[in-house]
Structure 1
Amino acid sequence: ADSPKNYVDWEKIDPEAATCYGKILSSDHYELKAMGRTGFWSMPHTLRAKAYQHIIHSIESTSTTADLDTYHGIVRKLFGELQTSTHPFPKFMEDGEIPRYCLNKAGLNSVKKILICINHHFPDVSFCPILSALVSLLLHLSEDEAQCFHSICSLVSYTDPKKRYIDRTFLTSRASCMTFGDLANKYCRGIRKLIASSHQNLFEFYSDWIMWIFADLPFTYAIRVLDVYLMEGYKVLYRVALALLSFYKVSVSSRVAHVDDFRQDMKSFVQNVGRHSTIDALLQRAFSIQLPTRKELTYLFNANKDALIHKDIHNKSSYQAMDFRAFRSSVVTETEMRVVWAWIPERFALFSPVQLFSTNIHGRSLFSFYSKVEGHDPTVLLLKTEDEEICGAFLSSDWAQKNCDEKGFKFFGTGECFVFTVSNVQWCRSLGCLTNVIPLIRNKLSPTKDMSLHHSAHCQPSNSWQEMMRHFLLVSLCGLYPAGGDDGHALHLQADLTAGSSEHCDTFESPPLCRGCFKIQFLEVWGIQHSLSVPPLPSQ
């Protein structure tokens, strides 16, 4: 049956909405972005529907999409004239659930039909749990099933990697999840530490990140996110999820001792986010985050995807959670190493730590040290002083790059390097490869022990990746300076590996990691289970 909108000139009934729509039609991309962020077309419903049609049209002009007749042809082929379906839910749906979003039974049946048709039209889409939510939301703003199908096809078919909309496989979905983990590692430091130190699974917690938005958020919040997602693509989802995580951090900090399952607790928090934030405040928080550029995010996404391929992770069943129960060290406990491992970049944290060097096993020879650690990157250096102080450094580059210049010195490394302490004081960190200077943040890990990490502070978000590849590790002929430069050495070890010193370091914005000069009780270097090459930088 025809809809009433086919018989009524709604512009005459609501001239204000008609004026707004005229402004939408005359606006360029940047003006439309601003409109989406402020909810310009959120009311009335008909205005949002028309705005979506306009935006989808601009998306489809750059991609290969199905026309409206395609849907009717697929429906006839799959469901026959009665259009009834006994088909199972598509394989790309993780759990077969459809977010209701106020849809009635007929609406839910239409969503299932559209999803089955998408599965038929895009057989290469093997894992995309958000599609059911996108179909449910877009059905609210579509004239019929065919138009909703057409809109989804436009998103799935969009080919620009810098402004993608849909992950089609578990591999790309997991790479996006790891990219979010890297961002959360920088922007929501405390949450990662809490989960890692509680022995709960970080992979499972972060694997829900996109479902916080397109399953758990209430409808009035999700539809506003959809406004900006259609205009700006996948990067918006990182923003909103980080904003949700930052609000959750405030909520959970006062009751962390009573949280048995962070994953379920986060889900419940997002479902009831209205108690903590309005949608306007959530979006304001999301867009106040100074994220890396799309090009930098694409680089990080590709690096994470390559790491998954390297470890042969192509589906959920091939992923195995990191097991630290067999970890043994003279310097740190299993729990402390679990937390350090949670801070290293996601593409390396996929792999188990492997001990490369230990003074207990290999002695205190600098030659022995280099012979064991060269050819491995990245590495984690750990040491315990005779005063029981513990500190270390994450070194992103191969020690083989240490060859010195004519003065006997050479800097090497990347902006992902960081130094840390294990003490009863603090945990401090920033993600040098992606962001600007971050002030020291103090959080409790436990009443007796905590960790402190300090990252390079020289990398600005506007810099190119070449500019970000600063050199932070210093080697001299008389000993090791694994962290720092001529603006203060965060860590200096003597050549016989019996003693060292630490001082304030501008490079990492770190205070002394130990009390000045110290004697080394134990020194260890840990690598990852498999060597991994970082993919080449995309051309400028």
Structure 2
Amino acid sequence: MTENDYGSFVDWNQMGDLATPSGPSKVDCKDLKVFKQMARTGHWAKNHNLRAQVYQQLIKAIPCRTVTPDAEVYRDLMGDALSKKPSSTIPLPEFVDGNLVPHYSLKVEAVASVHRIISCLAGQFPDISHCPALPAMTALLLHFSADEAQCFEHISRLLACNEPGRRLMDQTFLAYESSCMTFGDLANKYCPAAHKLIVATAQDVLEVYSDWQRWILGDLPFAHVARVLDVFLVEGYKVLYRVALALLKFYRKQKAGAQPAGGQAQDSAGVRDDIQSFVKGIGSVVTPDKLLEKAFSIRLFSRKEITLLQLTNEKSLQQKGITVKQKRRNVQLALNPDTFSSEIVSTKEMHDIWSWIPERFALCQPQLLFTTSNHGCSLNRFYSHCEGYEPTLMLIRTTDADVCGAFLSTDWEERKRGGNKLSFFGTGECFVFRLKPEMERYEWVVIRHPELASSIKPPAPGDDPELPQDEASSQGHNSEGNSLPVERQAADPSERLSPFLSARHFNLNSRNTSMFMAGNFDSIIVGGGDGNALYIDSELNHGRTARCTTFDNPPLCAESFQVALLEVWGFQDSMAS
């Protein structure tokens, strides 16, 4: 089969019967119940291009937070790298919990593309702290994407979904752990025979069930998981529970009559490996249609029940003190007093500042780049020490013993784009703070007031010009006139924005709300509009602070101050060799 618009990453020699398209070439259905049935019966399962078009429309209709990165953002961030095939594989972030990228009949270089997409996602979604399903989901959607940028946009929409009550991908340790407990509750209720088998054969049942999502997103053969994805994108997270329970039922059927050797429970890892082996080889005994038929034959299984169990289990875990921040911060905040030495803040105060820093820097260690006393020095020396580091943390102690500072997301070298003309740059991850006399952080004003930004774009070809963009998306129109019905509710208007993008990616009501950082050889500035949160002169000796529109902060110390000591800290990845 020749490569097509939605198959450039696929090794068609490995696709078997799926390499030869058959069945319908378009979907024309407006009745939601009928459309669900089409998804369950595999209406578009044998036509790769049609499946890709259906996925595109379903994902486009997902309600997302106000600003969600799209394909253009990916192209903007990756730049010239997109014109080259990935020559090496970028390491996956820690939050995928060691899960590898399933090959799913992708070309060798396509696996490297998945790594590149995930690396970019990690930077654009700093709040993700635990997402084991991401490698498999990205690999699956790359199968049905025209290019890396489109795959990035599709995954971004799954991650940024903000429809109340709708769940697509776990993104925290707390959510994932509670889902494993929920699966155990459902297995006990709806698969009692299989559950008893696990109890009898494994020392730690929860350890076995902790793999339940991986059975589907990672271990299932491609033909099976693609059929699951057909239904998942229409009906949501509950489908994963149904399919995992069906897999457990089939596993129990295979192991019927088996008893643990010597009447003793096996090592839980052995049971996990046994289930994984069974799921990977399930294609020889269970067809994709048979798997879905078993999954949807489970009676009285509702989204409401799943939600209630999930909330109950999350509450139980929280009462035990298990949260994602605790899990990661215990590692991140293990600062060694022998290697950390600041004349402005104590180790404890640095811990407090660190708790404000975006999660994506969780495994980084601070490195002192620059320090100067009230004798001052040139800004040229400041820039020469700080350029090449992203982000940086600036700490200032005044001659009045006040302490304040700023977290600056972008390399100071970026200032050179404006020549010696003062121009602002940076992203909404920047913030300013004060430590003394009291500790307070001031975030980007748009995070607290998302109504100041908009993500509305010009209508795409085929969209109804009479409809708002989000309504047009929900209609699911494509260039061939297909109309795909999708259940959706209004997005929560209070959803906080993710501050990962540059100001040019937002439709802001005022430029004053995006003046993050600026510098030339006359001064450095943090925050703008009506005033500056911080202004430091060319000798790093005198400064001013005032309320600014970007951070909506009060003066961080005396409005006019003299610098007693200034430190700049850079971030060094502790996992780097």
TM-score (norm 1): 0.53
- Residue 52 of structure 1 and its aligned partner are, at CA, apart by 1.0
CA distances 1:351-372 after superposition (whole Å, capped 9, x unpaired): xxxxxxxxxxxxxxxxxxxxxx
Aligned to 1:169: 172
Q: Secondary structure at the match of 1:176?
A: helix
Task: Identify the match of residue 299 of structure 2 among 265, 290, 305.
Answer: 290
Residue 211 of structure 1 aligns to which amino acid in structure 2?
A: R
Change (3 A) 1:141 1:79: closer
- AA at the equivalent of 1:30: K
Partner SS state of residue 27, structure 1:
coil
Output the CA distance in 2 between the equivalents of 1:4 and 1:46: 8
Structure 2 match to 1:187: 190
Following TM superposition, by how much is the alpha carbon of 1:73 offset from its aligned partner in structure 2, in angstroms?
Answer: 2.0
Distance 1:184 1:52 in 2: 30
- Given the alignment of the two structures, is residue 205 of structure 1 paired with residue 208 of structure 2, yes or no? yes
Q: 2:221 aligns with which of 210, 213, 218?
A: 218
Aligned to 1:338: none
CA distance in 1, matches of 2:53, 2:66: 20
Tell me which residue corresponds to 1:274: 283
2:128 is equivalent to residue 114 of structure 1 = no
Structure 2 vs 1, CA of residues 309 and 285 (structure 1 numbering), >3 Å: closer, same or farther?
same
Q: What CA distance in whole angstroms lies between the structure 1 residues aligned with 2:306 and 2:147?
A: 36
Residue by residue over 1:191-211, the C-alpha shift from the partner in whole angstroms, topping out at 9 and shown as x without a partner, is 333333445111210000000
2:273 is equivalent to residue 264 of structure 1: yes
Spell out, residue by residue over 1:136-174, the C-alpha distance to the aligned partner (whole angstroms, 9 max, x if none).
111111100011111111111112343311110110011
Alpha-carbon distance between aligned partners in 1 of 2:200 and 2:254, rounded to the nearest angstrom: 18
CA distance 1:82–1:280, change in 2 (3 Å): closer
Query: Aligned match of 1:310 in 290, 315, 319?
Result: 319
Contact 2:129–2:172, Cα closer than 8 Å, also in 1: yes
Aligned mate of 2:310, from 282, 288, 301: 301
Partner of 2:512: none
Deviation at 1:86, TM superposition (A): 6.8
3-state SS in 2 of match to 1:163: coil
SS in 2 for 1:288: coil
Contact 2:44 2:51 in 1 (8 A): yes
Map residues 131-530 of structure 1 onto 2, 5 A cutoff: 131-198=134-201, 200-257=203-260, 260=266, 261-314=270-323
Hey, what's the Cα distance between the residues in 1 that align with 2:291 and 2:4?
A: 36
Q: CA deviation at 1:179?
A: 0.9
Residue by residue over 1:99-123, the C-alpha shift from the partner in whole angstroms, topping out at 9 and shown as x without a partner, is 0111122110100001111111111
Aligned-partner residue type, residue 298 of structure 2: I
Instruction: State which of 44, 62, 66 in structure 2 corresponds to 1:59.
Output: 62
| 8 Å CA contact 1:76, 1:83 repeated in 2 | no
Matches of 1:217 and 1:153, distance apart in 2:
23
The amino acid across from 1:167 in the alignment is: D
Is the 1:79–1:85 contact (alpha carbons within 8 Å) kept by the matching residues of 2? no
> Partners of 1:228 and 1:176 in 2: how far apart?
19
Task: Rate the CA distance shift 1:48–1:63 in 2: closer, same or farther, 3 A.
Answer: farther
Asked which structure has the greater RCO (Cα within 8 Å, sep 6+), the reply is 2
- Tell me which residue corresponds to 1:95: 98
Structure 2 residue identity aligned to 1:252 = K
SS in 2 for 1:164: coil
- Tell me the distance in 2 between the aligned counterparts of 1:92 and 1:264: 22
1:533 aligns with none
Residues 162, 295 of structure 1: 8 Å contact kept = no
Deviations 1:254-313 (A, max 9, x none): 333359422111111111112332111110010111243222321211110010010012
| Equivalent position of 2:528 in the other structure | none
Q: Which residue of 2 aligns with 1:493?
A: none
Q: CA 1:86 to 1:138, structure 2 compared with 1: closer, same or farther past 3 Å?
A: closer
Q: How many residues align?
A: 308
Residue deviations 1:459-478 (CA, integer Å, cap 9, x gap):
xxxxxxxxxxxxxxxxxxxx
User: In the TM superposition, what is the alpha-carbon distance from 1:61 to its structure 2 partner?
Assistant: 6.8
2:133 is matched by which residue type in structure 1? I
Alpha carbons 2:75, 2:82 under 8 Å: kept: no
The amino acid of 1:262's aligned partner reads V
Query: Distance in 2 between the 1:62 and 1:28 partners?
Result: 27
- CA deviations 1:484-518 (Å, max 9, x no partner) are xxxxxxxxxxxxxxxxxxxxxxxxxxxxxxxxxxx
Whether contact under 8 Å (1:55, 1:230) holds in the other structure is: yes
State the percentage of identical aligned residues: 43
1:236–1:64 Cα change, 3 Å: farther
Structure 1 SS opposite 2:61: helix
Corresponding residue number in structure 2 for 1:508? none
Q: Is the 8 A contact 1:63 1:158 kept in 2?
A: no
**How far off its partner does 1:217 sit?**
0.4
The answer (yes or no) to whether the contact 1:67–1:150 under 8 Å persists in 2 is yes
What stretches of structure 2 of length at least 5 have no aligned partner? 7-20, 329-577
Q: CA RMSD in A?
A: 3.1
What amino acid is aligned across from residue 294 of structure 1 in structure 2?
A: R
Q: CA–CA distance in 2 between the matches of 1:155 and 1:227?
A: 14
Query: What is the Cα deviation at residue 124 of structure 1?
Result: 0.8
Q: Is the 8 A contact 1:55 1:231 kept in 2?
A: yes
Contact 1:21-1:51 at 8 Å conserved across structures: no
How far apart, CA to CA, are the structure 1 residues paired with 2:288 and 2:191? 20
CA contact (8 A) 1:63 1:154 kept: no
SS at match of 1:253: coil
Partner Cα separation in structure 1 for residue 226 and residue 198 of structure 2: 30
Deviations 1:309-365 (A, max 9, x none): 10012259969xxxxxxxxxxxxxxxxxxxxxxxxxxxxxxxxxxxxxxxxxxxxxx
Taking a change above 3 Å as real, the CA distance of residues 214 and 120 of structure 1, as seen in their structure-2 partners, is: same
Give the Cα separation in 2 of the matches to 1:293 and 1:142: 32
1:79–1:284: structure 2 CA closer, same or farther, 3 Å change rule?
closer
Which letter maps to 2:144?
L
Q: Name the SS for the 1:256 alignment partner.
A: coil
Task: Tell me the distance in 2 between the aligned counterparts of 1:216 and 1:82.
Answer: 27
> CA–CA distance in 2 between the matches of 1:163 and 1:317?
26
Structure 1 residues 72, 195: CA separation in 2 closer, same or farther (over 3 Å shift)? same
Equivalence for 1:71: 74
Report the residue type matching 1:118 in the other structure: L
| 8 Å CA contact retained: 2:136, 2:217 | yes
> Residues 5, 315 of structure 1: CA spacing in aligned structure 2 closer, same or farther, 3 A cutoff?
closer
Moved more, 295-304 or 137-146: 295-304
- Structure 1 SS opposite 2:96: coil
Q: How has the CA–CA distance of structure 1 residues 178 and 5 changed in structure 2, closer, same or farther, with 3 Å as cutoff?
A: closer
In 2: Cα distance, 1:5 partner to 1:94 partner: 33
**Residue type of the partner of 2:182?**
T
